[in-house]
Structure 1
Amino acid sequence: MIRMEKIRRERRQGQAVVRGALVPESTHDQRLLDRQGPADWVHMDPWRVLRIQAEFVEGFGQLAELPRAVTVFGSARTDKDDAYYAMGVDLGRTLAEAGYAVITGGGPGTMEAANRGATEVAGGISVGLGIELPFEQRMNDYVELGIEFRYFFVRKTMFVKYSCGFIALPGGFGTLDELFEALTLVQTRKVTSFPVVLLGTEFWGGLIDWIRKALLGTGKIATHDLDLITVTDDVDEAVRVIVESDRARSRQSLEERQAAASHIAEPQ
């Protein structure tokens, strides 16, 4: 007696092969071309990859022509009469006077303050990289170039790629997230010569004490890792740290290019 094996359904979908119960009842083309059909296809992971790619392309395209820039982090909940708001305005102004574009998350609070300070300088450039949130938050009025992102990791890439350094004013979870990601990138040498400055010794002092005691004290970080952070109340000092690091990186880059050119010019 010949046994007939049940033939399993199979369909190729791009580079993938799906069989059996995983074969959908309709194709991507059908769902795409059926205007009356469900819109679930726009939320599928393969489509998200294209959205992510589009966000990277848009961000790179918009920011590629920026001059040297510094990213300023800080709380969206800082009131305009708060001393840290005034410090943010002073910081944005001082960075612009030093020739740096100012990049923030584009929101209110100290982000607005830094953008505002940059616009007070002739020729100053004020940039906001916003994020789509479940609650409404629009770009502040002092952003001259604003880009809205769907994905945090794309936005973070833009913060790092187009900045010479980070300066953090007091903030909440978002500021801490961005701060520790920056420190991790510097510690692991994913980025080099990248200063991280914390403005507000009273606010940041407890965190630094905890890092020193809980992390350094138990061997979770090395002593030199503490040198990655500068804590100050002086806006001029914060900007000076950025400028000196930027100059050192430029000198190193020049020396490397000269060494490479000299090696090429040597007779073989």
Structure 2
Amino acid sequence: MSSSRLLIEQTLAVAQRLLLEQWRQKRGLIFWAVFPSTMMLLFGLVYAHNDSMRAGLDAAAAGILVGAALFFSCLGGTVAVIAAERERGTLPRLLTTPLHPAAYFLGVVIAQLLLALMQVVMLYSIALAIGVKYHGSLFLGGLILLLSVFAYVGMGFFLGARFARRSEEVVVALSAIGVPLLVLGGTFFPLEIMPQGMQAVAHINPMLHMNQAFKGVAAYGMGWAELRFEVTFLFVFCGLSLALGIQSYRHLLGVEKSK
């Protein structure tokens, strides 16, 4: 068997194992699905009740998906996976098997990507049912979502490998980090209504550029020309996040081997 084919098979096996573990944790899956669905329904009720704000519902759906749903599922999910593997002692056992280190990393990426796709379908099914409209290019929107998922997974590997040693730490860390990032990322409030100081800080928040890019496509029908800066930023940030995640993963493997 060729090395590339073996890598693909190992990667898919890792992704399947992680997805099966998610499936067995029925309670966690319920909360994973309820969180963005509830947010979408609540925003829908608010905007539907106020006709002057009705146009903002299209942008709200995009913000909830990129800013909240994918943040907690892809970044939070990756951190949780790494923390759980360290708690159970799975990583040292994996190092004694023929599993290629890259296969584990790629398996986590694929598992999170599939979960993200499910969230996209679920959230936009609800959004379209309550009157949300998607205005722009599906290809460009899909590219922005793909870059966002990869960036979140890379950040998740960095945080999980460097800081999260227990599952309990994941919830605390995500709450402490996530809520300010969501607010400054324009998930709940448009950037224009924030004080000047907050706007300056928000511009260094990658989540803001993810939100602006996907909102621009989904809610306002913008194309490549209008979103050139945001898409370029996402390409660069995605590359940096994955590089940082891979480096942190290698560091973690080195720590586990030395034990």
What is the TM-score with the length of structure 1 in the denominator?
0.28
Which structure has greater strand proportion?
Answer: 1
Which structure has greater helix proportion?
Answer: 2
What is the TM-score with the length of structure 2 in the denominator?
0.28
